[in-house]
Structure 1
Amino acid sequence: FLPLCLWSAAKLKSPAPQQAKARAPLPISQIWAQLAGYAGFGLGYIVFLTFLSAWMTQQAASASFSAAVWILLGLSICISPLVWRAILARHASGLPLAMILTCIALGSALPVLFPGNISLLIAAVIFGLSVFMAPSAVTNFARQNLPAHSWGAAISLFTVVFAVAQTLGPYAAGLLGDLAGDIGISLLGASGLLLLGAVIALTQKPLPNHPRGQIAQSGKQE
């Protein structure tokens, strides 16, 4: 996929540089819900990827089946942008991130709630189709709601929030699994965090000073 990425990058046009004095600070008070939802993503998604192999071993899955699950998950990741492209383009709110987090939560919990090989395969597809679209959702949100000169700062902030959460997630999940004596509890806990992040992200509206936000406000007034 690298040639496609290089081709896509060559098609992008960089925004015209603006003077620093014209740059307003990031409206954190207006985007906190998206930030919190993305933190939920960092806390929750990594648990499934970290403990999936251990969970399958605990369920006495064969090495060949475990490999098949990972292959299916990887193939699903490859086609995930095609699945979510229309939704990301249509919405400037937190709805895409909320939908993505809900799907990740479903994929994380499904093997625990319904143990079995079929459940694991379905979970791998759902999880793979959604997991790496969360960064795309916050990038899309920033591009649709913030001026071009703020994109770099916004994505950096989202990335720092994500990185801290991603660091804490496996430790907390491992501790929970050790205390419960069951890795499945860790997966369910991660699913709960993802759903909480989805609920918070769902409250994120387009920013009022953005064209889409202005359209939404106009619609409410009408």
Structure 2
Amino acid sequence: MKKSIAVIGLSRFGFNLLEAFSRLDVDLIGIDHDIEAVKKASEITHNVMVADSTSYESLKDAGIANVDHAIVAVGQNDKANLTNSIVTIIRLKELGVEKITARADEEDYAQVLKLVGATDVVMPLSIASERVANRIAAFNLVDYFNIKGDYTVFEVKLSETFPPAQIIDLDLRNEYEANIMLIERDSQFLMPKRDTEILPNDEIFIFSKKKDIAKITAFFTSK
């Protein structure tokens, strides 16, 4: 099942996030109050609209109540924009959105946004948009390491209920052209072989194409 993600605020950071998400296997909604920003974003995905993110009714009409994760990507270059971010987060909480990631341009702002209900705060000056997109779009993704070209290495935390399985039986290479490169178990690192068994609570490092991150993490989550 695809994750549904809303990006609220389509200036440079929000636009870059929307573009990064569009390359992943997720359902997207983009929102901005500025019609020109929405026109530009419509070149990436058709599901973008002009709306006031501080309005409960506008967000509800846009279908935001049904998303798995909302990202408030509005910058805080002045107090009005900070207020906009705060009110938007409050409206998202009122709509029942459980996961809310908010952009913060200063550490003090990050603390305020968490206080009003943001479940995660990112500071785009220090975190690349693509890395943020992959962290949010994938299930149980611990970390993401960019590699040149179309490939990446990412870390996935397996659940307590994950059924033990040998790597060869998972058939990741044939299904996704992916390989498990390393396993962390009980603070020890293991170099896996084809017959190595992965266990509940293992943290596994996977080499794959960037576009397959969400699919692969969903594969491990569904077990």
Bin the TM-score by the shorter chain: under 0.3
- Give the TM-score of the pair, scaled to structure 1: 0.20
* Higher percent of residues as helix: 1
- Give the TM-score of the pair, scaled to structure 2: 0.20
* Higher percent of residues as strand: 2
Higher RCO, Cα 8 Å, sep 6+: 1
